């Protein structure tokens, strides 16, 4: 990353800490927790995603911006939507996008179910991210309509979700999805890896 991107992460970190002291924004309180669990784990999504310039991505249930805002700072060429239904969180995301001077990223305040029926969004995304929004089958069912035919859904999941993938495959197949997983080692020893569940249309 460039020094400018490092600077952007520093401002994002200070905005997160400032807003989190006034509202329920994220459970990550310390600088170390935000960097390790927020920034670095979000960046682990890169293992399942090619950030080419024309890529259209959406982060469903972005909360404080994990992983969507982190990915946008790291890969500025991607076109990113941060979807967040809670008003205060959406206000934080919009304010932070402005404060960081980012272009090609917008926050939409809505539930994913509302977007799925909208032709502007339905079948429009190359990459759909979701972290800590629900179980793998529930999230897959909710967000699958947003995917382009060759799009990819990238879920940050716990080890349990990754381990239960074999038993979930028949259910995911009924949604027309095939599942794979990635394990991304943490940069420091003693921190568990990041587990990604990657879903694609089975007929692609
Ligand atoms: C536990 S938080 C996780 C936030 C962030 N992804 C993270 O990992 O820190 C779950 C977020 O999903 C949002 N959410 C819940 N249901 C949703 C839905 N149906 N559509 C879009 N977002 C939803 C909530 O408002 C909340 O901010």
Pocket test for ligand 1, best of 23, 24, 63 (most atoms within 8 A of CB): 63
The radius of gyration of the chain's CA atoms, rounded to the nearest angstrom, is 16
| pLDDT, mean over the chain | 95
Q: Is 152 in the pocket of ligand 1 (CB under 6 A)?
A: no
Q: Is 72 in the pocket of ligand 1 (CB under 6 A)?
A: no
Neighbours of 72 (CB within 10 A): 26
User: Is 9 annotated as a binding-site member?
Assistant: no
**Mean pLDDT for the stretch of residues 34-61:** 95
Give the torsion through C-alpha atoms of 94, 149, 145, 152, to 10 deg. -60
Contact, 80 vs 71, CB < 8 A?
yes
pLDDT higher than threshold 90 for residue 133: yes
User: Is 60 annotated as a binding-site member?
Assistant: no
Amino acid 54: pLDDT? 85
Q: Is 186 exposed, middle or buried (0-12, 13-18, 19+ CB in 10 A)?
A: middle
Pocket test for ligand 1, best of 85, 113, 155 (most atoms within 8 A of CB): 85
**What structural domains does the chain harbor?**
3-201 (3.40.50.150)
Q: Whose CA is nearest to atom 4 of ligand 1?
A: 63
User: What is the spatial distance between Cα 65 and Cα 113, in angstroms, rounded to a whole number?
Assistant: 19
Phi, psi of 151 (to 5 degrees): -75, 170
Share of the chain above pLDDT 90, in %: 89
ipTM associated with this complex = 0.99
Q: Whose CA is nearest to atom 11 of ligand 1?
A: 61
């Amino acid at each position: 990353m460039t020094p400018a991107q490092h600077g952007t992460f520093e401002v994002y970190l200070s905005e997160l800490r400032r807003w989190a002291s006034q509202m329920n924004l994220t459970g990550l309180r310390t600088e170390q927790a935000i960097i390790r669990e927020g920034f670095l784990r979000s960046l682990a999504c890169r293992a399942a995603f090619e950030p080419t310039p024309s890529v259209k991505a959406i982060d469903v249930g972005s909360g404080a911006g994990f992983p969507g805002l982190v990915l946008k700072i790291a890969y500025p060429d991607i076109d990113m939507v941060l979807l967040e239904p809670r008003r205060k969180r959406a206000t934080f995301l919009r304010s932070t996008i402005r404060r960081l001077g980012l272009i090609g990223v917008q926050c939409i305040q809505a539930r994913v179910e509302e977007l799925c029926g909208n032709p502007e969004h339905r079948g429009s995304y190359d990459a759909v991210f979701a972290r800590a929004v629900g179980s793998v089958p529930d999230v897959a069912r909710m967000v699958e309509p947003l995917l382009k035919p060759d799009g990819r859904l990238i879920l940050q999941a716990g080890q349990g979700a990754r381990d239960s993938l074999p038993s979930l495959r028949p259910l995911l197949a009924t949604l027309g999805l095939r599942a794979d997983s990635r394990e991304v080692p943490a940069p420091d020893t003693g921190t568990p890896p990041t587990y990604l569940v990657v879903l694609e249309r089975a007929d692609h």
